[in-house]
Amino acid sequence: MAKNKKIKILRIINRFNVGGPIHNAVMLSAFMPDEYETLLVGGHPEENEASSIHIAEKYGIKPMLLDDMKRQPNYINDKKALKQLKEIILAFKPDIVHTHASKAGALGRKAAFDCKVPIIVHTFHGHVFHSYFSWWKTKLYQTIEKRLAKKTTGIIAISEIQKNELSLKYKICNPEKIEIIQLGFDLRPFNENKTEHRKKTRASLGLQDAEIAVAIIGRLAPIKNHDMFLACISAVHKKTTKKVVYFIVGGGEDFTSIDEKVSVLKAKGMDIRMTSWIKDIDIFNAGMDVICLTSKNEGTPVSIIEAQAAGIPFVATNVGGIKDIVSENNTGYLIELNDYEAFIEKLLHLIENENKRQEMSQKGWSFVEEKFQYNTLIAKTDSYYKLLLNQKNICV
């Protein structure tokens, strides 16, 4: 390749729904150095998911949408999506195909390998090797990922914990093939105009100054374990004299079942509100007092990074790579999965103790600013790309 020619990157994500992969893909598409040219492609969000196209458009990115890139495995749709990806590769002629998350990783890497793309990179934003499927289906996905790893030039893990799980626990590939690059976001909106945003949010929600607002933010799906959240807040309701309002933010396959359980708790006097997805989550967060997460498995939960950026203390289950993205006991509390008693205790402590909330609030931004601002993501990814390009003798 002639020197000074732009390096072409085809970036493939599962679908344009709200979540960590879209933020990562958009930041990498919008802010990589000028020597790169990026084309971002992915599937449509599902019917019960909020679209994240506005996030791409906010940063001047016009993604290509693939009608047949679906979340669930389907032979006909997957075959069509694979064919379309190959057509895009042959037309765009990328030097690097970089896939994000499982479906994009499977179809994108196969297409890139078949089309002899020089460099194939995959980012694990999480993994499905526990708490998602039956043991036999989990084993199948593990086998598929091992085979795909052999076709991949480099693999990116988003935390040290995740790297160890992929290489040592699940043996997807050798640790030498894995680079750790944490996610990067544009977190500034969460730290700006917080007083103004808090007043705006609480006024729109009809919250009084003395009321404590607690939120859980994320897809309404079994892996997010909203049953634990509902059980814990029900217990807290019996223990506190504070007026607490709970918000369940998000949409998904479990909406109806969660809504039915919420109705039972509301009949007992609890104030619980299901908001569906919220577009301006930075403004919404400013009005909250505590953020919760009760997931059974996570990669890097965006809601907890954003909570810290907004100075909102959290109580979260200690799963996946979450330990690598928080300052435990300084910006919030981590609780072992299914330890309901400890979760209730810490959530109650934050609800009852305004001074503790304020203390933790002061530490959130300073912790995430250096680690999770997108400029760190860009710099590390640029260095990694250049390393792989040099190994392939591609001039940059």
Shared domain check, 233 and 170: no
Shared domain check, 49 and 176: yes
Please check whether residue 69 lies inside any domain of the structure: yes
Looking at residues 304-325, what average pLDDT do you find? 94
**% residues pLDDT > 70 (the chain):** 96
Mean pLDDT for the chain? Answer: 93
Q: How far apart are CA 3 and CA 394, in angstroms?
A: 9
Question: Domain containing 192: what range?
Answer: 188-372
Shared domain check, 169 and 93: yes
Please check whether residue 396 lies inside any domain of the structure: no
Shared domain check, 271 and 141: no
Residue pair 362/356 in contact (Cβ under 8 Å)? The answer is no
Please report where in the chains the tokens 């093939």 appear, as a residue: 177
Sequence-ordered strand ranges (E) for 21-95: 36-43, 64-66
Residue pair 111/87 in contact (Cβ under 8 Å)? The answer is no
Q: Judge whether residue 136 has pLDDT over 70.
A: no
Shared domain check, 319 and 307: yes
CA-nearest of 328, 282, 107, 89 to 190 is 282
Q: How far apart are CA 51 and CA 71, in angstroms?
A: 14
Shared domain check, 362 and 254: yes
Q: How far apart are CA 255 and CA 304, in angstroms?
A: 21
Predicted local confidence at residue 381, as pLDDT: 98
Q: How far apart are CA 257 and CA 268, in angstroms?
A: 18
Q: How far apart are CA 220 and CA 275, in angstroms?
A: 12
Total number of domains constituting the chain: 2
Please report where in the chains the tokens 């919760």 appear, as a residue: 292
Please check whether residue 1 lies inside any domain of the structure: no
Predicted local confidence at residue 129, as pLDDT: 59
Please check whether residue 26 lies inside any domain of the structure: yes
Shared domain check, 54 and 127: yes
Shared domain check, 138 and 160: yes
Please check whether residue 288 lies inside any domain of the structure: yes
Residue pair 334/326 in contact (Cβ under 8 Å)? The answer is yes
Q: How far apart are CA 363 and CA 359, in angstroms?
A: 7
Read off the tokens for 60: 């001047």
CA-nearest of 287, 277, 278 to 205 is 287
Please report where in the chains the tokens 């909106």 appear, as a residue: 189
Beta bridge partners of 316: 293, 334
316 pLDDT band (50/70/90 cuts)? Answer: very high
Q: Judge whether residue 131 has pLDDT over 50.
A: no
137-193 tens-digit pLDDT: 778 878 889 999 999 999 999 888 889 989 998 899 999 999 999 999 999 999 999
Cα angle 8-14-17, degrees, rounded to a multiple of 5? 115
Predicted local confidence at residue 48, as pLDDT: 74
3 pLDDT band (50/70/90 cuts)? Answer: low
371 pLDDT band (50/70/90 cuts)? Answer: confident
Shared domain check, 196 and 170: no
Looking at residues 318-347, what average pLDDT do you find? 94
Q: Judge whether residue 294 has pLDDT over 50.
A: yes
Q: How far apart are CA 279 and CA 18, in angstroms?
A: 9
227 pLDDT band (50/70/90 cuts)? Answer: very high
Shared domain check, 289 and 197: yes
393 pLDDT band (50/70/90 cuts)? Answer: confident
134 pLDDT band (50/70/90 cuts)? Answer: low
102 pLDDT band (50/70/90 cuts)? Answer: confident
Q: Judge whether residue 68 has pLDDT over 50.
A: yes
Predicted local confidence at residue 105, as pLDDT: 94
Alpha helices in 168-326 (DSSP H): 188-191, 194-205, 226-239, 255-267, 281-286, 302-309
Please check whether residue 2 lies inside any domain of the structure: no
- CATH (domain of 97): 3.40.50.2000
